[in-house]
Each structure stands twice: as structure tokens, then as C-alpha cells.
Amino acid sequence: MNAELNQYMQEQLALVSLAVRRYMYNKIDWGRRMFGLVGPRGVGKTTMFLQYIKESTNKCFYVSADHTYFASHSLIDVADEFIKEGGEYLFIDEIHKYEGWSTELKQIYDSHPELKIAFTGSSLLDITSAGEADLSRRAPIYQMQGLSFREFLEMFKGISAPVFSFEDIVSGKVTIPDLKHPLPYFKEYLHHGYYPFGDDPEFNLLLVQIMRQTMETDIPHFANMTPATGRKLFRLLGIIAESVPFKPNMDNLADILGVSRNILPTYFMYMEKAGMIEQLRDGTGGIGGFRKVEKVYLDNTNQAFVLGGNATVIGNIRETFFFNQMRINNDVSVSPLSDFCIGKYTFEVGGKKKGKKQIADITNGYVVRDDIEYASGNIIPLWHFGLNY
């Protein structure tokens, strides 16, 4: 293979540790002929690919689609050369930065049936409508999010904990012998534990850069927006961060941002796909049906603290954490009587003194309390809900 690309791959592999693997590692069918891994910036997609390569017995090659090599060469060139050298598994990072990527991937897939292909991309990536090639029948897309509290404990504190099912959590069956006092760790996680670079001294600066690039570059690029619109989107993040939580009033927002109210739902949709916000909907229509948006949260608590600073509202943080962690494996909707519903269960989220008044007459109602260590009956610690993936 090209010496420059090979050196780049070896340099990236040298930086990767095999000590901790993300929750998606064992969910991916690595034996498929083609698949994609998408997710917000900074959640560790590249690292997971490099971990697989580092311990694989296959002949693998890794390239980043934004490498300068591709200014004068194509992905097809790389695949053709790799196959001639007996290559078996081609990993392509940042595929969304390569113009015409879908057409070339389709050609590689059809021309080299013996080659496996994996690619990463922005969570905005749409393989069903990208360019001229529809890859949806060829390549399943795996969605990856940031660290759970459980993963944070393993990655940064060396504390191993199993994944607890939703049923185990609501039944109060969470036990972690090596975790004597979880609350200090939990508070740390809320501030800078959702991203794998959470221990970087410049974490806040890095996260702001990720948010700005997503809002002012990534979304405008995919949605054919102007840079000025991207800056308005970033301002919208700040408005959401200051809310308790945010209940969208489209008329007010349109006035503040100087845009048509009719375009705002589209903005929110792109922001949600990009991993910048999460929208809590009602429970009608099922997962695939039309569901009214009732509340809007920032995607995760790290974003909220970075954008909100000292003005960050703790009640918003608690709800953001619950929704963020539980949405991975569960369909979470707004409760007409309390905060959240998951199936037949209703949850009221609050501080350690949160009472049972709002769920007193609700079957399968639970109080979720921050600042407590253990479950008791239908009172569950908030941190327990960070152990579901």
C-alpha cells in the first residue's frame, strides 16, 4: 500500500489502547461485507475501528477520507491496490468528508466481493439519499452515542460494572461491590464524563469547538444552509441550555433568531440527528409514528454545564441525564402526570428530598432521586440509570 497512508495508519494504531471497549464493540457484526458506524463528533468511533484492527487476524487497512492523499487519488484506487496485495478488510474513516463517497463505495462493493468494508461518518449521514447510490440494502448503519456512567467508571476509574437491564434497575437489583460511594464519581461524570476525552485539561474548550463545528459547519453543509444560519443554530443551543427544561415556543424563537417559524422544526431535526439536542415526544403513534415534541433538552449534561456555566439549572441536568442514558435501549416519552414514561412505568425525577406526591396514584410509578446511594422500594437513585449500556 501507499507508504504515506500506511505510516498514517501505524501512527494512529500506536496511540490506541485496548484496555476498554465501548458498548457498541460487541453489537457490531464485524463479519458483514459492508457496514457503517455513525454518531456525534467525539464519541470514539475512530478509536473503536482502530481497536478492532489492532487485535484482528485479518489483513486490515485504515484510511481517513479527509487525508491529503485523496486530493489526487480515489477510494477506488486504494481498494484496488489493497485487493491486489491480498487485503481483506478496508476501514474508511470520516466518509462524509469525501465527495461522491456513496457512488465509490457501491462500485468497490460490487467490484470486490471478497473485500469487507467498514466506514464511519457523521450522525447526519443518510445512506439512502446520499449522492447517486443507495447503500441501504448493502450496509446497515450502527448508531453510537457517548459514554454511559458505567463506561465512564470503567474507562476513567478502573471500576468494572455489568450492564444492568431496565427491569433490574427498576427492581432495585443494582449492586457494584467495588463502588462504595458513587456520588462523587457521578457528579464528575455529569460535568465531563460523557466523552472519551473527558480527562483532557482543555475539555471545555474542546467540547465548545465540537459544538461549534457541528452547528456552524456540519449541519449547514448537509442541509445546504448558509454560515449565518449555522451561527443562529449555535445561538439556539444557548437558549436551550438556559431553559428548565425547554418547551419550544416557535413564534418566540422565530422572533429571537429572525427566521420563519415554519423552518424551526427542520432545524431541531438536524440538531437532534447531529447529537446536539434530544427531543422528548408524547407517547402516541409508537416509535415510528408522528409524535408531538413536548420538551427539548441538550443532548447530554456535559454540554449543559459547558454552555450554561454557573447558571446551569440542576433540575434540567437531572432530566437530561435520565433521558440521555435511557433512550439508548428504551422508548422514552413524556408523562402526562409526571416527567417520563418508559412502557408501563412512570418516573418523577428530582433531588434527594423529592416526594411521592406526583406518583402517589400511579401504578408502576417511581421517584428517581439525585444525591442518594441506594434504592428503596419505588425510590431509585438517579445514577442507577447510567448503568443500562
The domain that holds 119 is classified in CATH as: 3.40.50.300
196, 85: one domain:
no
Tell me: do 111 and 187 sit in the same domain.
no
pLDDT, average across residues 15-32: 96
Dihedral-angle region of residue 125 (phi above 0 means left; psi in -120 to 50 means alpha; beta otherwise): beta
pLDDT for res 291: 83
Average pLDDT over residues 226-249: 85
- Domain tally for the chain? 2
Taking residue 295's Cβ as centre, other Cβ atoms within 10 Å add up to 19
Distance CA 77, CA 89 (A): 15
* Adjacent-strand bridge partners of 119: 36, 92
Question: Could you give the CA distance from residue 350 to residue 299 in angstroms, rounded to a whole number?
Answer: 19
Tens of pLDDT, residues 42-82: 999 999 999 999 999 999 999 999 999 999 999 999 999 99
User: Are 124 and 171 part of one and the same domain?
Assistant: no
Please check whether residues 320 and 197 belong to one and the same domain.
Answer: yes
Cβ contacts of 89 within 8 Å, gap of 6 or more: 53, 56, 58, 59, 60, 61, 115, 116, 117, 118
pLDDT at 130: 52
Rounded to 10 deg, the angle between the 203-213 and 227-241 helix axes is 130
pLDDT beyond 60 at 132: no
Residues 138 and 44 reside in one and the same domain? yes
Q: Identify which of 101, 91, 112, 110 has the alpha carbon closest to the alpha carbon of residue 30.
A: 91
- At residue 41, the pLDDT reads 95
Of 96, 119, 143, which closes a domain?
A: 143
User: Across residues 230-256, what is the average pLDDT?
Assistant: 85
Q: pLDDT over 70 for what percent of the chain?
A: 97
Return the pLDDT at 311.
Answer: 81
Instruction: Find where cell 416519552 sits.
Output: 333
172 and 196, same domain (yes or no): yes
Q: Is the pLDDT of residue 124 over 60?
A: yes
pLDDT at 305 over 80: yes
**What's residue 182's pLDDT?**
98
Residue 280, beta-bridge partner list: 295
187 with 208, same domain? Answer: yes
198 in the same domain as 244 = yes
Q: Are residues 226 and 355 in the same domain?
A: yes
For residues 3 and 242, which has the higher predicted lDDT (pLDDT)?
3
What's the mean per-residue pLDDT of the chain?
Answer: 93
Phi, psi of 336 (to 5 degrees): -70, -15
Q: 176: buried, middle or exposed (CB in 10 Å: 19+, 13-18, 0-12)?
A: middle
The stretch 97-113 carries a mean pLDDT of 94
Task: Supply 150's cell numbers.
Answer: 458505567
Pairing of strands 277-281, 116-122: unpaired
Q: Give residue 287's pLDDT.
A: 53
Question: Given a cut of 90, is residue 245 above it in pLDDT?
Answer: no
pLDDT of residue 214: 95
Q: Cell digits for 355?
A: 416526594
Distance from C-alpha of 166 to C-alpha of 176, rounded to nearest angstrom:
16
What CA–CA distances, in Å, run from 156 to 46, 192, 312, 349? 19, 11, 25, 27
> Is the domain of 138 the same as that of 213?
no
Which region among 149-163, 288-302, 320-334, 364-378 has the lowest average model confidence (pLDDT)?
A: 288-302
Q: Can you tell me the distance from the alpha carbon of 91 to that of 56, in angstroms, rounded to the nearest whole number?
A: 12
- Report the C-alpha gap between 198 and 305 in whole angstroms: 13
Point out the least confidently predicted range of 86-100, 169-183, 236-250, 313-327.
236-250
Shared domain check, 360 and 222: yes
Boundary (domain end) residue, out of 78, 113, 143: 143
Residue-wise over 83-119: b if at least 16 C-beta within 10 A, else e?
A: beeebebbbbbbbbebeebbbbbbebbeebeebbbbb
**What is the model's pLDDT at position 224?**
87
* 306 Cβ contact list (under 8 Å, min separation 6): 204, 207, 208, 211
Q: Can you give the CATH number for the domain in which 155 is found?
A: 1.10.10.10
Q: 208 and 106, same structural domain? A: no
Q: Kindly state the average pLDDT of the residues 312-334.
A: 95
Last residue of a domain, one of 143, 166, 190: 143
Q: Which domain holds residue 219?
A: 149-386
Q: What is the pTM of this model?
A: 0.93
- How would you classify the pairing of strands 116-122 and 332-334? unpaired
